[in-house]
Chain A
Amino acid sequence: MAKLLKIAVRNLLRYRRRTVLTASLITLGVVFVLVFVSVTGSFKAMMIAQNTDSMLGHLQVHRKGYVASIDNLPLNLNLKPGAMARLQRVLDAQPEIAAYSPRIKFGAMFSTFVETTNIRLNGVDPEREFATVPLLPARILEGEKTLARGEIWIPELLARGMKVKVGDMVVIVATNQDGSVNGRQFKVAGVLESVSGPGGRDGYIHIDDAAEVLRMEQREVSEVAIRLKDFERLAAFSEKLGMLLEQELNQQGKPIFEVHTWEKLSPFYNIARMIDVMTFFMKLMLIAIVLVSIMNVMIMAVFERIREIGTIAAIGTRPGRILSLFLLEGLSLGVAGAILGSAVGAVIIFVLNVSHITYDFGRQKNLLLQATIDPVDVLVLSVIVVVIAVIASLQPAFKASRMEPIKALRHV
Chain B
Amino acid sequence: MAKPIIYGFVRLGRKAGPLANLRGKPMSLIVAENVHKVYQAGEVAIHALKGVSFSVEPGAFVSFVGPSGSGKTTLLNLIGCLDKSTEGRLTVAGTDVSGLGRRQGAAFRGEKLGFIFQDFNLIPVLTVYENIEYPLLMVQDVPARQRSERVLALLEAVGMTEQKDKLPDQISGGQKQRVAVARALVTNPALVLADEPTANLDHATAYQVIELMKRMRDSFGTTFIFSTHDPKIVGEAEIIYTLEDGRLAGTQARGEAAHG
Q: Which residues of A contact B (CB under 8 A)?
A: 3-4, 7, 10-11, 13-14, 307-308, 310-319, 321, 405-406, 409
Contact = CB atoms under 8 A, between A and B. Distances in A.
A14 B103 contact: no
B126 A318 contact: no
A10 B83 contact: no
What's the dominant secondary structure at chain A's contact region? helix
Contact of B110 (A307, A317, A409): A317
B77 interface: yes
Nearest to B78: A406
Contact of A314 (B80, B119, B126, B134): B80
Contact of A316 (B109, B119, B126): B109
Contacts of B10: none
A319 B82 contact: no
A315 B103 contact: no
B138 interface: yes
B139 interface: yes
A313 B83 CA distance: 13
Nearest to B84: A406
7 contacts: A14-B125, A307-B121, A308-B124, A311-B117, A316-B110, A316-B111, A316-B139
Interface in B105-151: 106-111, 113-115, 117, 119, 121, 123-126, 134-135, 137-139
B102 interface: yes
B66 to A, nearest CB: 19
Given A7-B126, A409-B117, A315 B110 contact: yes
Closest 9 CB pairs of A and B: A316-B110, A10-B125, A311-B121, A316-B109, A316-B139, A406-B82, A406-B83, A317-B138, A405-B82
B214 interface: no
B137 to A, nearest CB: 6
Given A7-B125, A406-B83, A318 B117 contact: no
Given A3-B138, A307-B121, A406-B83, 16 more contacts: A7-B123, A308-B121, A308-B124, A312-B134, A315-B115, A315-B134, A315-B135, A315-B139, A316-B108, A316-B111, A316-B187, A317-B110, A318-B110, A319-B103, A319-B106, A409-B121
A239 to B, nearest CB: 53
B138 A4 contact: yes
Which of A4, A316, A318, A405 has most B Cβ within 10 Å?
A316
Interface in B55-114: 77, 80, 82-83, 102-103, 106-111, 113-114
Given A314-B82, A317-B110, A318-B107, A11 B125 contact: yes
Given A10-B126, A308-B121, A316 B135 contact: yes
A318 B183 CA distance: 17
A315 B110 CA distance: 6
Contacts of B125: 7, 10-11, 13-14
A318 B103 contact: yes
A184 B121 CA distance: 99
